[in-house]
Structure 1
Amino acid sequence: EKRRRASCSQVPEGNVTNHSKKRVSLISRLADEGARPGRLVRNLSRRSSVGSNSTGESRWTRTMRRLSDWSSSVSGSRAHTHDGRTPISSYWSRIATVKGEEKQKLSCWEATQISASLQWRVWIRTCQTAAAHSKIIFITVLTFSIICAVGLTIVFVFASNYEKSLRIDAIKTTKVMEQRIPAELNKALLPLFTMEEIVRQVDTFSDLSFKTKKAPLYTTGTGRVFRNVTGICDDTSYTLPYDEIASSVKASAEMPRVLVNVQLAPFGVVCLLHPLINSEDFEDGIVMNNTGARGLELLNDPVNGYYARESIKNDRVTIQGPIRLVQGNVPVVKEALIARTPVYLDGHNLKIDGKNYSFWGFTTVLLNWAQLKSQVGLDEYFQSRGFEYRMTRTDILLNFTTNEEYTRTANIGKSEGSHILNSDNTVTVPLQVTDNEWNLTVGCNCFVAPWKAGAATGVVLGSLFVSLAVMTVLVAKKEHELLLYRMMPREVVHRLHRGETVVEKYDLATVCFFDIVSFTAISGTMDPVDVMAMLKDLFSEFDKLATKYQVCNVETIGDAYIVIGGGPEKCLGREGAEKVALFAYEAIEAVRNLRFQNGSSVSIRAGLASGMVIAGVVGSTQPKYTLFGDTVTLASKMESTSESMRVQCSDMTHRLLRDSQNYIFSSEQRIGYNVFPHPTYWITAATKRRNKRDGNHDLVSASAATINVSNFHAGVYESNEVFHDEEDSPGDIP
């Protein structure tokens, strides 16, 4: 301490005055920026960082570190140090240097850049820490998977229920047409059954079947089969009463423009038609002339024969179509349905497939299907509700080539946008009509929940956000743990977590003190920021070596660095002494090669002592792992009485190093310095013990090979001593 004070007194008064003026100017500058000058005065006026908080950093250290980080984001073109860092003073001078009376302020854009850069660095650091610990990655992925799976399941279940409700609404909407279409169609087919009863009840038409049956057959050029019914079907004794009856039936049906023709086909031959020439059900001068259909033989016709015979065998109404009726290249009926029902009378006979049927003939109605759909309002009804539709009828047909039956689904009505319909967006209801199987398919693209994709995306993003938040918490916890482990031994941290009082006794541990030579004088000529940067670089090198040699960094007080071996790591006394000695030895060489940002270098001295050490945690608000005992005091004195770039050890440490099983340490007893009751020693070299299969010693590190004793100005030595076992020869020791 006397030496330090003497060094401090050697600093020129002018330099101290100039430095103080700069510091006062700096404080006033920061006060304008919203800083707390009281705290800065206390920190600036101290020789080193005053106390440590629970994170192991002084407030001044944290401030300097943050300013150093900010500087790299703002001053991209500024010079960097040898390790890639931006000099701390670059940003410090940006906000703190006074140029006359002008104040340099950051713009909003620069402040935004700084903030974004800080957040990005924090995130990158978080990801790096997470990647280094597989447990954090596993928990993060597991959290994402569970939340995502549960969330998506809930979304899909709700979406499925919502879509089911939409389908139910569509079915309810379709129910209206499910009732209306069959009702209108049955109303249009009512004359079919009326004429059937008239034939049965009125004897006027009963003999027509026998007459048409005897009429000669002939085939047209198109292959259609006709009978020559001239003089039969144009007989006024049949046509007049038929026109009167059919006209009344057609009128009573109240289906104008839909029911366009009523026919009788005795013995399957089209004979009586009303109206024979129809103009009342058409507009724009269109006339439907049915004269050409008279005499058509339905039972033997290649187109209608199969369906006519099936209608007789099954005694059911058959509906053909929709077909396009064209006369003179003019489409009279664009979509026509032809409905037939067989009439059975006693005394009449028709043999089909070996079976006799009392078949008289057919009653037939011709319907304008397009007009019927318009009258029902099919297109308008579904269009107003945002639906598309398709109506189909399944027919059983005959392949005339193979004489085999097959089914065909015919479209008998559809909307303009029916092409979008598929099995995923439709509902189908059957229509109860008199013929075959009719189905009404209704649908739209609205059967998919509109919020489904957005909700699923939200769940995924939410899961990702929560999992990243969990990862951030785990990383923060892990960094906190690692920070605590750097401040205290792992077992001590665990005991503190359990609420135990930590007091440990190490019977034979080795303590090492480091100190920067003439630190007071050096720091007096440097800015505080540069002092902090110098200590940071120096102690970072020491931390690397402490990790390498598995020694515990107990404390950092100003420019002093304290480690212990053979204590928390639970090893033998000689092993702890060996680790600490190697650490101290290589630290000397690391400092020798270390250059700071301003190109300067420092010298250190080290002191080692071994013996009983009491370790424990003191304080509750800011707990601190501390060493107690005579050994600690002795190690401190070993350091304070050591010389620049040399390692001085106590007699007990000297003995432990002599018993080292892995290394051979060379030492020199210190002569002419009788402060201690026992001799002290300079450690001058360390080599790895010879392997029995190898004839040479391995050097521990570059420091063991490059230390040149002649460079030390330690005074006069009485003798050189080398620690070795009997199996080692002195000639092997460098």
Structure 2
Amino acid sequence: MSFTARVGSALGLGSFRKNKREREAREAAELQSGVQRAGSKSQLEIDKSIWDITNGVHVEEIKVGRLRHTWEAVCQDAKTVGETVRRDPKVAIIPFVLLLLIMGGGLWALFASANQEYKHRREVASQIANDKALYLQTELAKAFLPAYVCSVYVRRDPAWPAVNASFGPMALEMIRLSHAGSVLTLSLIPWGVIQTMVPLKGSGPPDDPNWRAIGKDWLQDKFNQDKVLQSISSKNLTIIGPYNLTQGGIGLVAMLSINIAHAAPSAAFDIPPYVHGSLGAWQTPPRTQVGPNLTDTPYAPYMYDEATSSKWWGLTTVLISWDVLREDVTRLDDLEAQGYSYVLSRPVLRKELLQARPDLANGTHDLAVAWSSSVQEVPLDATNNRAPPRAPGRARPLIYYDLHERLDGPVHARVLVEGAQLDLYLSLDDGWTPRWKQPMVAVTCVLSFLFSLMLFLVLVNRRQHMRLLHAMIPKKVIETLRRGKIFTESFEVVTVLFSDIVAYTTMSAHMAPIEVVQMLDELYQEFDNLAEKHKLYKLDTIGDAFMLVGGAPDREGAAAAAARVAQMGLDMIRVTSTKILAGGHVVKIRVGIHSGPAVAAVVGRKAPKYTLFGDTVNTASRMESNGSPMRIHISMATHGLLQEAGGFMMEPRGEIPIKGKGVMSTFWVTGTHVWEQGPCPRSEAVDISSLPEPNAAALMAARGSNAPPPSSLVPPPIIAEHADEGEGSDKPADDAAHSGASVAVKLTPPHNRREMMGGNSQRRSNLGPQELPAVAAGGLHTPAGAVAEATEVVAGGAFCATGEDVDSQPGTPRTTARLAA
């Protein structure tokens, strides 16, 4: 074999496939041997190189804090959820609408129930207040009964001597029989002057404070004139108070006018003149009064009623202890036991306010006469107008106004007793609004939110699963499989694209597994984006092989599908030419395209996959394996469809032998014009015959400080790429051996220790050490670690080592191979 043929063999032509396993084994052994010889220093260099390759990627040996790891996982999940919502807003809209419906319905039902409970509580309180008002009205009427008895007693025999003689024993008996002992005194008031009162102790005020009431002229009492006038004019019982009594304590006065029927206008009823001062010096000023004193009073019209021939005799009063009534009769404390706060008040007159609270004289106010301790606490030493209460803190002095305003929306009931008015206000201690309302509002909102959140997470999870499923299987296929049927579909014309990475086997053998994964992931993400851009369906990735189809699973015109696939291939070449992958790797790819009939199906039950079957797939694979780096190899069928689509630049390659197919006429796709017509218009012109190189600064940054200068600074020799065909590929024999080319070999020393060891370096040859014997067999003796540079001089019109037809001038250096010893 000639020296040129031996170099051609070293470049990977013909026998490369047969020696692949042996070459990889020798490479691994030499690499292991070099590492053992390098010692600890070389091991550190290799570790640093691996760190440079991974570029800071976390590996399992790195200890990451549990909290940080959890936070990163949460952030990643949130990012994924956000991306899912962005892609399909319905995932968030449906739970949000459901949240509004559930929360709105729940809150509506909750507020309706709370409002119903509110009304029910107020109805119950109103009923209790009305019952208590009726009870108070009945009990007060019982307490005032002695006034009616005295009136009947006087009318029976109005002569004063007879009345005065028997009034004492009769009054004492009525006091004894009074309701709960609430009656304090009974008085007879002929001509409006108090002349007798029962009981009276001793002979003067020192013995009994009630003595000071003897001789009081009610007709001249300007302060209570309205009440006296009401009693005289209406001839009905009139209530005065509760008010502070002169003798101490708090009481009520029941006053009843006494009129004697069938009496003459001049009738005197044997009532003697009253001499004020006859009982003692405490009666001042002294006066003698005969008959009623009507001076400056409105009572004269009521002294005699001609219609009924009745003469006014005088008044009778019953003094009742309000303290006894409040504590023993009214039973207002029962309201507190039922959970209510109450206030019992009476309207207060302006003249009362002028005496007690001038600051309140200009408004309408109520004076509280009884209330619960929760409304207003009373000091322990407080008294009822100098009268001590039964228990400390139980006094109810008449000094508080408008206490009912402190109650929360109280219900009201009015007590009317013989012209007197009392107002009862009731409020529920627990509040009218049920206590469970606010917690239930919170529970309803939280449960609604949790339910909607669960639905949101379920929809997001389902959407992510469906998205993942749709990424593997088309939608229409999923529907068929759900029904338990087998999916098959025939297509008259589809266009299939295959691509793989040049020299992938050799490259991956000298790379860490994580670096290989990173490299493929970065590259295939770019390809996936392009497939989505051109609306093509990705069929599979096997190692470095990438396969997609146009015209399936969604049918479209054959020319349009072929145009999309061809445009995809051009974009793949352009992206790969400038893409710097993990570790600073720059790769090259081959692309092959063929169009023809195919059958799509999903076979098997485990890990189902949407797959194309037919000779079209095999032919597309042959187009790729018989192609050249960074070029698009197409068949005659695809060429015809692209011509129909229009706008593509194509070059004939000629007839080449294809394994299993015989000789086929194939073409190169070199670019596309701006094309606004046809089924697949294009707004950008593309030409892959002159591709841009990777950015030098980015390449140096990716490879680290130990990387050699970029090609823009030091022009490197052109590295010949050898084929890494698939199993059974048949490479055309239009190589340098048939072109009559000559080869010159130049020896250069290794650049660094890493290159000598076969490390990952830009200067390392793409060829493994198994190609070296082919060079050595030609009589070439090189020192250890030297690099052989082979320059192939190609005659005009000859094919390149990979099968390209290069329009080079005769004698032009075309390909240089650098072989690492």
State the TM-score, normalizing by the size of structure 2.
Answer: 0.63
Aligned to 2:236: 316
Aligned to 1:683: 669
- Equivalent position to 1:665, from 631, 642, 648: 648
- 1: distance between equivalents of 2:108 and 2:502? 68
- 2: distance between equivalents of 1:579 and 1:499? 33
After superposition, give the CA deviation of every residue in 1:693-731 in whole Å (9 maximum; x if it has no partner): xxxx953468688469x99966553899xxxxxxxxxxx
Number of aligned pairs? 593
In the alignment, residue 517 of structure 1 is paired with which amino acid?
A: V
3-state SS in 2 of match to 1:294: coil
3-state SS in 1 of match to 2:645: coil
**Are the counterparts in 1 of residues 191 and 314 from structure 2 also a CA contact under 8 Å?**
yes
3-state SS in 2 of match to 1:602: coil
**Are the counterparts in 2 of residues 278 and 288 from structure 1 also a CA contact under 8 Å?**
no
- Equivalent position to 2:257, from 320, 339, 342: 342
Task: Give the alignment of 1:213-362 within 5 angstroms.
Answer: 241-253=166-178, 255-256=180-181, 258-275=182-199, 288-291=209-212, 294-298=215-219, 301-326=221-246, 332-333=248-249, 335-347=250-262, 351=301, 358=310, 359-362=312-315
- How big is the shift at 1:247? 3.2
3-state SS in 1 of match to 2:584: coil
Larger gyration radius, structure 1 or structure 2: 2
Aligned to 2:368: 411
Aligned to 2:323: 370
**Are the counterparts in 2 of residues 178 and 440 from structure 1 also a CA contact under 8 Å?**
yes
Pair 1:564-2:479 in alignment? no
In the alignment, residue 670 of structure 1 is paired with which amino acid?
A: R
- Equivalent position to 2:60, from 78, 87, 92: 92
In the alignment, residue 261 of structure 1 is paired with which amino acid?
A: T
3-state SS in 1 of match to 2:177: helix
- How big is the shift at 1:141? 1.7
- 2: distance between equivalents of 1:597 and 1:394? 93
- Equivalent position to 1:674, from 657, 677, 698: 657
Pair 1:15-2:15 in alignment? no
- 2: distance between equivalents of 1:277 and 1:703? 133
Higher RCO, Cα 8 Å, sep 6+ = 2
**Are the counterparts in 2 of residues 278 and 289 from structure 1 also a CA contact under 8 Å?**
no
CA distance 1:690–1:449, shift in 2 (3 Å): closer
- Equivalent position to 1:583, from 568, 583, 587: 568
In the alignment, residue 184 of structure 2 is paired with which amino acid?
A: V
3-state SS in 1 of match to 2:435: coil
- 2: distance between equivalents of 1:151 and 1:483? 36
Task: Give the alignment of 1:443-454 within 5 angstroms.
Answer: 443-447=427-431, 448-454=433-439
- 1: distance between equivalents of 2:303 and 2:164? 33
CA distance 1:589–1:393, shift in 2 (3 Å): same
CA distance 1:265–1:9, shift in 2 (3 Å): farther
- How big is the shift at 1:159? 4.1
After superposition, give the CA deviation of every residue in 1:256-302 in whole Å (9 maximum; x if it has no partner): 5x43332233455544433467999x9xx99534535734344x754
CA distance 1:711–1:307, shift in 2 (3 Å): farther
3-state SS in 2 of match to 1:674: strand
- How big is the shift at 1:172? 7.9
3-state SS in 1 of match to 2:175: helix
- 2: distance between equivalents of 1:86 and 1:262? 111
After superposition, give the CA deviation of every residue in 1:486-518 in whole Å (9 maximum; x if it has no partner): 223333333334444322222122110111222
- 2: distance between equivalents of 1:486 and 1:275? 108
- 2: distance between equivalents of 1:716 and 1:80? 36
**Are the counterparts in 1 of residues 413 and 424 from structure 2 also a CA contact under 8 Å?**
yes
In the alignment, residue 805 of structure 2 is paired with which amino acid?
A: Y
CA distance 1:716–1:524, shift in 2 (3 Å): closer
3-state SS in 1 of match to 2:458: helix
After superposition, give the CA deviation of every residue in 1:282-323 in whole Å (9 maximum; x if it has no partner): 9xx99534535734344x754333333334444433222222
- Equivalent position to 2:614, from 626, 629, 654: 629
- 2: distance between equivalents of 1:169 and 1:279? 54
- 2: distance between equivalents of 1:294 and 1:577? 129
- 2: distance between equivalents of 1:347 and 1:129? 105
3-state SS in 2 of match to 1:150: helix
After superposition, give the CA deviation of every residue in 1:113-156 in whole Å (9 maximum; x if it has no partner): 43454245324422442354232233112211222233334434
**Are the counterparts in 1 of residues 150 and 316 from structure 2 also a CA contact under 8 Å?**
yes
- 1: distance between equivalents of 2:89 and 2:102? 20
**Are the counterparts in 2 of residues 87 and 597 from structure 1 also a CA contact under 8 Å?**
no
After superposition, give the CA deviation of every residue in 1:410-461 in whole Å (9 maximum; x if it has no partner): 5332223336877866444555744445443332331433322112211110
- 2: distance between equivalents of 1:2 and 1:303? 136
Pair 1:137-2:92 in alignment? yes
Aligned to 2:77: 122
**Are the counterparts in 1 of residues 655 and 665 from structure 2 also a CA contact under 8 Å?**
no
**Are the counterparts in 2 of residues 648 and 682 from structure 1 also a CA contact under 8 Å?**
yes
- 2: distance between equivalents of 1:698 and 1:455? 62
State the TM-score, normalizing by the size of structure 1.
Answer: 0.70
Higher mean C-alpha deviation, range 430-439 or range 303-312: 430-439
CA distance 1:562–1:525, shift in 2 (3 Å): same
3-state SS in 1 of match to 2:251: strand
- 2: distance between equivalents of 1:355 and 1:486? 111
After superposition, give the CA deviation of every residue in 1:536-589 in whole Å (9 maximum; x if it has no partner): 111111110001111111122222111111223322111111111111111111
Gaps of 5+ in 2: 1-13, 36-50, 266-299, 353-362, 376-402, 694-717, 721-799, 809-821
Pair 1:200-2:155 in alignment? yes
After superposition, give the CA deviation of every residue in 1:5-45 in whole Å (9 maximum; x if it has no partner): 7555433646369899x9xxxxxxxxxxxxxxxxxxxxxxx
> Identity percentage over the alignment?
26
In the alignment, residue 445 of structure 1 is paired with which amino acid?
A: D
- How big is the shift at 1:630? 1.3
3-state SS in 2 of match to 1:598: helix
CA distance 1:464–1:278, shift in 2 (3 Å): farther
- 2: distance between equivalents of 1:430 and 1:5? 115
Aligned to 1:729: none
Aligned to 2:291: none
**Are the counterparts in 2 of residues 8 and 521 from structure 1 also a CA contact under 8 Å?**
no
- 2: distance between equivalents of 1:417 and 1:494? 72
Higher mean C-alpha deviation, range 425-434 or range 636-645: 425-434
**Are the counterparts in 2 of residues 4 and 521 from structure 1 also a CA contact under 8 Å?**
no
CA distance 1:415–1:628, shift in 2 (3 Å): same
Aligned to 1:610: 595
In the alignment, residue 459 of structure 2 is paired with which amino acid?
A: L
3-state SS in 2 of match to 1:363: strand
CA distance 1:613–1:376, shift in 2 (3 Å): same
3-state SS in 1 of match to 2:471: helix
In the alignment, residue 657 of structure 1 is paired with which amino acid?
A: L
- Equivalent position to 2:144, from 184, 189, 194: 189
In the alignment, residue 310 of structure 1 is paired with which amino acid?
A: Q
- 2: distance between equivalents of 1:360 and 1:366? 20
In the alignment, residue 152 of structure 2 is paired with which amino acid?
A: E
Task: Give the alignment of 1:529-548 within 5 angstroms.
Answer: 529-548=514-533
**RMSD of the TM alignment (CA)?**
4.3
Higher mean C-alpha deviation, range 176-185 or range 461-470: 176-185
**Are the counterparts in 2 of residues 699 and 705 from structure 1 also a CA contact under 8 Å?**
no
Aligned to 1:227: none
- 2: distance between equivalents of 1:679 and 1:354? 145
CA distance 1:673–1:80, shift in 2 (3 Å): same
After superposition, give the CA deviation of every residue in 1:347-396 in whole Å (9 maximum; x if it has no partner): 36773599867444332122231342123475654444543211234699
